[in-house]
Structure 1
Amino acid sequence: MPRLFILTLSLLPWIPVVPCWVTTQNEVSVLEGGSITVPCRYDPKYANHVKYWCRGSMREFCTSLARTDETSSTNPSKDKVSIFDDPAQEMFTVTMNNLKETESGWYLCGVELGNGWKADDVAYTKVKVIHGMSVENGMVSGEEGSSVTVQCLYSERFRESEKKWCRSGGWSSCLSAGSEGSYEDTSVAISDDRTGTFTVTLKKLQMRDAGWYLCSAGQQQVAVQVQVTPRASTTEPVTSPPPPSQSAVYLPPPKPITKESWSSHRYMLESVAVCSSLLLLVGLAVLARKLWILHKEDSELRHFKEMKERFSDNPSGMGDLQHVPIAFHNKATMDVRAY
């Protein structure tokens, strides 16, 4: 056992170490019918090596799609797959166009080393081709009075579907591009290029236009937030008035009646009206009490006179009258004794 361990240590310097000299992004997602560009970085020592792009999860069974040692097209934007090497940037890029959902899977960036003793240096990435919708920017912002543009992207199978622009929460607000692929009014313009993008332009933004909207194609939809910032205020230059002459008298301009000044005046008028009403009610209450007291005294006086006349007609009852208690409320009533 010790001999095996010593033998292993003696062989370590001869075991090849293969570091990762090629790197790329782990995953790429794209709408069906769209395009992707994948950057593949490599070590400077690979500047003169052949680079390639192939499909597969194992380098031994990878299907080559593009190589730098093959003749490239003069119009890579229309090619299915194109590759471009830039040694100065130590990077080669791969572009794939018009992708289908069936083309989802594993791909790899590879650098060919050119000998059978060492495998090529590669880096894997996963490509996801999906159908649906997306937007280039999920939030757009513009100043009040200006315009903003939203790019709504859709997959190939939605090319013939109706495209709509809706305010979130109210389907009655939806604006459709229609069969002609366009719509325009004073505030919104919609244009569908029928190749994967329809463009929405919001014109003459107002503060009430801020909020959430939806790009819609068929049954698919994606949210977009629109922000509106207040218009920047412009300050006019202030010109100083000419110096007053000795013969002229300048009076300060009258203060305009503003909403605030009118409110303060109205408050004062309302206070005066309330106080006046209270004083009037108190006065009426005092007057009513005095009238009631006078009326009561008159009633008692009449009653006393009636009793006196009745006993005058019947002198025999005068003795009883002397024992009848009589309450007088004030001096005016007591004066009746003079009768």
Structure 2
Amino acid sequence: MRTSRELLFSLCFVTFGTTAASVVQVFAYIGEEANVSCSYPHGYESYDKYLCTENCGGDDVLVTTTQGTMNRYSIRDDRNKQTFTITISNVAQSDAGKYWCAVSRTGKDIYTEVKLQVQPDVCCDGVQSVQAYESDRVSMTCSYRPELVNSFKYMCRGSHRSTCRQQALVTTNTQQNERFKFGQTQSEFTVELTGVTKQDAGSYLCGVQGDNDFDVFSRVDLTVKEWCCVNSREAKGLLGQSVTLQCPYPAEHRSNRKFLCKGEHRNTCKTVVTSAGPTDRFQLQDGRSSSFSVTVAGLRETDAGTYWCGSDSQWTPGKHYTKVQLSLEWCCVNSREAKGLLGQSVTLQCPYPAEHRSNRKFLCKGEHRNTCKTVVTSAGPTDRFQLQDERSSSFSVTVAGLRETDAGTYWCGSDSQWTPGKHYTKVQLSLEHFKSTVSPKQTTNPSGSTLSKGSDAVISHVVMYVLPGLLLILVVVTSVIVYKYSCLRAQGDRDSNNISRAKEDIAVSELYCNQEVVKAARVNADRHGDDRCVSKDEVMYENFSGDNIYNNC
């Protein structure tokens, strides 16, 4: 049994448990977390703590420090601060209501009432729509109740209330942040955005810190439209020359002031000329019909860029303006191509105007004229480069012993100041290897890669195989010619002998009329002849009968 002192001690704590501290207000957004923090008296650091609902019966306990985590509930006890915190994850609308933080003890537990309020995270029912044009500036206004005039205010991008304050763009404490600027009156605050881009379009939340309640939010939806002009054009000009820009305008603006300005954005565009009169190298001419023109003389490199021309200086959105992108080129006489063979020479021709006859001539190498490195001048030759000036209308540069490094872009001219104009020539030199008419034989090395033999191998093959064949053919042809000549000569000699012998035989026949003697003499003569070269006349002679001879007697 308990003593009277123990009962009195328990009664005191029962009284403390029934007279709980003030209600703990907790605010949470659907889908986010809710953190419930409850304090307890000194001396209860080691006691078990828990969160419960309803009557806090056995089934009403949601989580205890002994458990640590139960479903969507987790609890941690900071004994140094005598505070324990319960976290409810993925809060739902049904989680709203009354809870109890409790400290378990002998007798009546210690209870602290908790009221959880839940709201949707996405804001809001009422939306303010704001429209702006690219490169423009826009103000977004946020109203609030007068009693919140001194409350903390802020603006964030997006539509989620739970993270808005942490992601604030500007606040009452940070009133300037890059393109965003904060301003406030008694009943509203404004945020001004400059240099609007398409990426700025979307939802913004205006937040005002509540007084022991949810922060008060309002939503602004920003729409960004392309700032429209008649069209966007491109114009090209030559340095040192003139260019004319055309700017159309509507008929109702015929009497309006016309202008041309320069700048990447129209709101930072600097006027260079108006219809009031010419300015420096810019001259505006209004045809009083449907367009005006602006002529820029003596073009300089700094003239390149973006121009805007129009007939409404108020920059009223609409089709009253033209955006022109002007690009400039540096002009030369022409661009040429030259080809050469490695190891050989090549000559480059460079024309120049007559008035530059006595000027210093030069040839330089480089992709761009402003980084071009001089290789030779009219002052004298340099290494393998020799410049020859005909003193007429052109000069030439001869490059000897061409190397692979000689290929590339060359500039030649007669004005070392690079004054824009037709005083220069751009030459693209390409080089090729000498190509033999005999295709090199392809061989394969042990690793499998293909090798190509050089000209020495080709010559070797010619000497070894082709030349002996040619010599053999020559010997055969010569032998045939000599043989034919010998046969013809021998045949001629035999014909002469046969005729002589025939005459002699006839004479003898007439003298002796003896056929046998004549025939014997002819046979002996035949035996001394060359059987290989017997002519037709000789055969006829042999067939000549003795009767014919005898008859002639």
Give the number of the structure with larger relative contact order, counting CA–CA contacts within 8 Å between residues 6 or more apart: 1
Q: Which has more strand, going by share of residues?
A: 2
TM range (shorter): 0.3 to 0.5
Larger Rg over CA atoms: 2
**TM-score, normalized by length of structure 1?**
0.37
